[in-house]
Structure formats: C-alpha cells, structure tokens
Amino acid sequence: MALIRLHKLLAGWGVASRRAVEAMILARRIRVDGEVFTDLGRRVDPAACRIEIDGRPVTPPAANVSVVMVFHKPAGVLSSLGDRFGRPTLADFFPGPERLYPVGRLDSDSTGLLLMTNDGELTNRLLHPRYKVEKEYLVQVAGPPLTAAERARFEHGLDLEDGRTAPCHLRPILRKGAADSPTASPWVRRASPQVPSRDRQARQKRTDASLPRAAALCPPTITYRVILREGRKRQIKRMFAALDRRVVALHRIRFGPIRLGDLPPGRARPLSAEERRALLAAIGREETER
C-alpha cells in the first residue's frame, strides 16, 4: 500500500482535522509502532503501522461511510471527546462505536449548532478559509448599543492580536422598538444540558454556574446577529472586547446551509438528503468523494 502522511491519514479516518492532527504530533501525543511521532513530513503505511493517540490505539473506520450529525451543544459541555478533570464532553452524548468528531468548536459556555462527523476531509474543507463557509450566531452583549461607527468597524474588520478580521455581518435584534433583554433571548432559559452520565448532579451544579444562566443577572444587554466566514479562537468575544463590550451569551444557529432549528439542547439528528447535498455543494465536493 502507498505511504501517506500521518496527518492526512488520520484526517481521512475521521480522527480530527489535518491541522488538529498536526498539533497532536507537535505535542508528542501520537505514537507509531511504539515510538513518539514528531516528523510532520514522514509517511506511514496505513496497512502495517500501529498508531496510538494518548496511549489509545487508533484503527480505520469499519466502513467507508461518511456520517454527519447536527448536534445542539448545551452550555457547560466541552467541545472535545475527553477531559482529565471529568467535565462534561461530547463523548457523553455520543457513546456509540462510531467515532464522530466536532467540526470546529464552541466554547464551554457557548451553545448551539455543532456538526459531528467521521469524515476528516469534510471537516478540513468546512473549516478552510478558502471555502468561506458562513457561521451564524446570536450574541448577547452587555453594555450600551454599538454606535453606527462601531458597527461599521466591526463589519469591515478589527485588528486583533492574531491579525485583522475578515469582513462580516452584524445586526442588532430589536423587539418592539427596544433592545432585546436577556430574559427575551430564546436560548438563555433552555441552555442547561441534560448530561447522560453518572456524575449528573455534580455536573449540573457546575453547569448552573455557566455564563448563559448568569446572563439573567447581568445589566441590560442587546442581542446581535453575527455572520462570520472565518473561525478563530474566541473570535466574536474578542471582537466585541475590542469595542469595550462584553459577550454574556453566544448561540450558533447556522453552519453553512445547515440550521439548528428547534432541535432541543443535548439532542442530535442526521442530515436530511437535501441538507447533505447543500453542505457538499458549499465546499465543492461530490457525494462520491471521500
């Protein structure tokens, strides 16, 4: 069998995106045939090598079937499949044998739509800046409403520590002529997760202290609709902070053509055939590619 670079192999198996696998390699978390793997350019034989991540063996998927699920991430849940401190993770909601991984991430205190998949190449394309896949959010912000000049700066690009942001869309959501209040925000009172695990009560206490629940005690806020075509770590929070505002709740409602709809927190559903076609079209991929 032809040799292949490890980050491409593991992305194809649905372990993580290529960039995430590269980070694992640099962090010395991956072993190949018992030895720590550190050479990003080195190729391996998929049929002959033995791969471990954090001491756990990694095997190819049982079938070459691309699976994509829509998941409503509750507050207080990490966008990872494990946590050494025992905090709630995505693994609590996807305990089955099929390895599904998140496309990107949401902060622990953020809620809303996460795509879960075993298709590493799909993940790579959805997150790649070249495809400019839109992500839409409802963002609850403390402080006075942004002025017209501040909104223009936000939309045209802000200078952050990791560079200037790409143009985006920002609009306030008003109700009956007044700024949206925290109690009116539709996700605030529904955000507590129903974590299906043995530490339910202890985890619920931690969740009760999460940011969306605390939003009800904050000063007056306004909710904005934000649409990005890039994805940096904590980008929206940092953009509002650059304008001296504080995000108190963030909820993603759309990823590309896929909408969260009325899916309850903590629940998942597969894509419809129409949604799948639209998602693949957004990244210029045919159904047969994988």
DSSP string computed for 76-97: T-BSSS--TT---BGGGT--SS
Q: Looking at the DSSP assignment, which residues form a beta bridge with residue 36?
A: 31
Q: Looking at the DSSP assignment, which residues form a beta bridge with residue 258?
A: 255
E strands, the chain, are 4-5, 30-32, 35-36, 43-44, 51-53, 56-58, 68-73, 101-102, 111-117, 135-142, 159-160, 163-164, 169-175, 178-179, 221-228, 246-255, 258-259, 268-270
Q: Looking at the DSSP assignment, which residues form a beta bridge with residue 225?
A: 138, 171
DSSP string computed for 143-184: SSPPPHHHHHHHHH--EETTEEPPP-EEEEEEETTEEPPGGG
What three-state secondary structure class fits 55?
coil
- Choice among 39, 92, 107, 119 that is catalytic: 107
CA 227 to centroid of chain Cα atoms? 15
| Helix axis angle, 120-127 to 18-26, nearest 10° | 100
How far is 117 from 119, CA to CA, in rounded Å? 5
**52 contact partners, CB below 8 Å, separation of at least 6:** 30, 31, 32, 58
Residue 130 per-residue DSSP state = G
- To the query of whether residue 39 is one of the catalytic residues in this protein, the response is no
* Catalytic residue ranges: 107
